[in-house]
Amino acid sequence: MPQSAASETLKGVLERIKYSNDEDGYLIADLRPENAKNAVTIVGKFPGVQCGETLKVTGDWSRHPAHGPQFKATQFESKLPASVFGIRKYLGSGLVKGISKGLAERIVDRFGESTLKIISEESARLQEVDGIGKQRASSIKEAWDEQSQIRDLSLLLTPYGVSPSQVLKIYNEFGFVAADQIKENPYKLAREIRGIGFKTCDRIAINMGIGNDSPQRVDAGIEFVMQELQDEGNTAFPENELIEKAVEKLAIAKAVAKSGLVRVFTNRILSKYELEGLTTYWQIPFNHRDEEQIVQSFIRIQSHPSCLPPIKRNKAVEWAQNKAGFEFGERQREAISMVLSHKLSILTGGPGTGKTTILRAVVSILKAKKVRVLLAAPTGRAAQRLSETTGAFGQTIHRLLKFDPAEGSFTVNESKPLSADFVIVDEASMLDTRLAASLFQAIRTDSHLLLVGDIDQLPSVGAGNVLKDLIGSNRIPVTRLDQVFRQAERSSIVHYAHAINQGQVSIPATVESARDLVENKDFQFLAASNQSECSEKILKVFTHFVRGTLGLDPINDAQTLAPMHKGEAGVGNLNTLLQASLNSETESMPFGFLTYKRGDKVIQTRNNYDKSIFNGDIGIIRSIDGINGIVTVDFDGNVVDYEKPDLIDLSLAYAVSIHKSQGSEYPVVIIPLLKAHFMMLQRNLIYTAITRGKKKVIIVGDPAAYAMATNNADSKSRCTLLKERLTL
């Protein structure tokens, strides 16, 4: 066996696949070189290849400490098998629907090296084989043609980083004409296939000779720029700035970008909005529509009389106070009265300022008056917490509005509104423009809507800044709660949260070891000077403090909230470390760069209305069926099966981003915070993270980074038009 480090080339039949990753095409396989008695192990990325194919691979030899010599391939070429041996392997792999291993043997015995040609060009002759009739021969030919198309598509696209699973999605979307569609306009992939972006399409287009200034590239590029802006939370963008971004991203002239804007507007890909005849804004059409719908719904609800029975507000407040068993603060009394007297109202304030007391009182009063009340929140955890604090049933907004996957829309809407006299929505800072538009439309004309949220938290993950815009419009009555009540003052978490919000750098005494953390303090700071030290100490917080000192379940009762995804102290690496440390289960399934194990904590990364799970939902993997490729996840009682391609929507959740934690609370929160996170060190970010902790918050990091975040109130503002539309 050659042991030289010099690059060389092997050619042979792919005999056996030992391991494969459908996402990146990574294989560990046996290749039988020409004129060799024994197969050799090859490793590398071979997207789309199948057993029996003839491979020509270039690479270097290495020695694995456990598995011995391996050929690490850096390049490969693949051809359909030409030998009887290869054809047997190829057809017997189950690749072609309708051909079992036994049937493959009989077909190859009959036709030998001509087998593939017979299937492709003379499929009627398959009837010469025992067990194959006319209908079966036709179905085998159909399956062969489909597989051939997928193979050709894979050969076309995998050099550009398109994964095998994405190739399959493309084929399922476009069918037999997929390759022709891509060659005609490769940018279609970015529009219609999730996970394939403009940059990938651009590489394909350049290789096909599509010019830099071609209309199809420019138009797709402008869409790409607008999508990036939307992903940053914007619902609109000034024309001049949009053109500048397009020029920068696409390396085109201003005149070319302007022409592209005209085309995309004409084709209704983007919408245009003139503000006071001075500034032209551009929007993705549904952002334009959603903001308009919020405004129209606002006008509709505000202009119609209330359906509530007469309520003597002062007496109602006194009654609720007696029922609660303690005296309300003056601001709380005013808030209750305000909510009862306005059809649309907003209640905002930080932790410990009495929002829960007000909500309980309002719900109690309304129920005593036989008012039909519905309570909702953007996430399942927030809805559950709302139920616990008010004693009334709470649900997610998506369930409240009843999304119909078949129609792709909510069934509860303006024509079929909610059967409620009063709707209360908690964690309203999480409302993006799209969800808010659907919610406002579903409010009956004579009904009331109360939005409750903390305006100082991070804005929604989706586009928009609805709560801030509504407050800023001065069109809706707002109660701002700023007094921290005595019972809350005893909480260090509340104290430090408000200090941060006011820009006061107040840092608790730091400790050097996780063993120095104490049970009777709810806010503590564990020093770490760099990312490596930080990640190591976070592991020890889980093992020594959470599991040891507190006696809690480190998976279910504690949550790491990180400012960033990358780096040793980022979400990705922390998940890998925490999974290895906290989950010893052996039942697993690899997917991409991850391996999921039974008992893992996972998070859904996009809305899936078919499964009734939504972006940010956290669950536990209950079982893994490796044979059928199914992972079963329990999301607080909603048990969902994921087939392997669907795992792209899951990620490990031992650590999640602070943005993803919105609307949730955890008994123990651990926050890595270093100067290396400087891009994300903002006041509202650290404030949001700290207020997620119910009982304990432990910051692991550098006090200087904490000070930087507290002093930085200049969070990146979002460009939206809802406020402007409301004030016209």
Q: Note the pLDDT tens digit of each residue in 162-179.
A: 877 788 888 888 888 888
Predicted confidence at residue 2, as pLDDT, reads 45
Phi, psi at 504, each rounded to 5°: -95, 120
pTM of the model: 0.80
Residues 551-574 as b/e (b if ≥16 CB within 10 A, e otherwise) read: ebebbebbbbbbbbeebbbbbbbb
Beta-ladder partners of 305: none
49 near 150, Cβ under 8 Å? no
Strand ordering across the sheet containing 510-511: 510-511, 523-527, 693-701, 666-673, 558-562, 655-657
* Segment 422-445, tens digit of pLDDT: 999 999 999 999 999 999 999 999
Predicted confidence at residue 3, as pLDDT, reads 45
Residues 486-496 as b/e (b if ≥16 CB within 10 A, e otherwise) read: eebeebbbbbb
Those residues with Cβ within 8 angstroms of residue 95's Cβ, 6 or more apart along the chain or in another chain: 50, 51, 147
Predicted confidence at residue 489, as pLDDT, reads 62
Predicted confidence at residue 4, as pLDDT, reads 45
Q: Cβ-count burial of 303 within 10 angstroms (0-12 exposed, 13-18 middle, 19+ buried)?
A: exposed
Number of other residues whose CB lies within 10 A of the CB of residue 526: 23
Predicted confidence at residue 153, as pLDDT, reads 87
CA dihedral 513, 517, 522, 528 (to 10 degrees): 0
Q: Cβ-count burial of 180 within 10 angstroms (0-12 exposed, 13-18 middle, 19+ buried)?
A: exposed
Tokens of 374: 């519905």
Predicted confidence at residue 277, as pLDDT, reads 64
Residue 47 one-letter amino acid: P
**Average pLDDT by stretches of 10, the chain with 728 residues:** 63 87 80 87 86 89 86 87 85 81 90 91 90 90 87 83 81 87 89 84 89 92 91 92 93 94 88 79 92 95 93 93 89 92 94 90 95 93 89 91 83 93 95 95 96 91 93 94 72 90 88 93 94 95 94 95 92 95 90 87 86 86 88 91 86 94 90 85 91 94 92 84 91
546 near 654, Cβ under 8 Å? no
Beta-strand pair 618-625/630-635 = antiparallel
Beta-ladder partners of 641: 632
Distance CA 235, CA 462 (A): 10
Those residues with Cβ within 8 angstroms of residue 134's Cβ, 6 or more apart along the chain or in another chain: 124, 127
Predicted confidence at residue 1, as pLDDT, reads 43
**Secondary structure of residue 517 in the 3-state scheme:** coil
Max Cα separation, the chain? Answer: 96
Distance CA 289, CA 646 (A): 30
Residue carrying structure tokens 């245009």: 272
Residue 608 one-letter amino acid: N
H/E stretch holding 380? helix 380-390
Predicted confidence at residue 165, as pLDDT, reads 76
**Secondary structure of residue 418 in the 3-state scheme:** coil
689 near 660, Cβ under 8 Å? no
Residue 534 one-letter amino acid: C
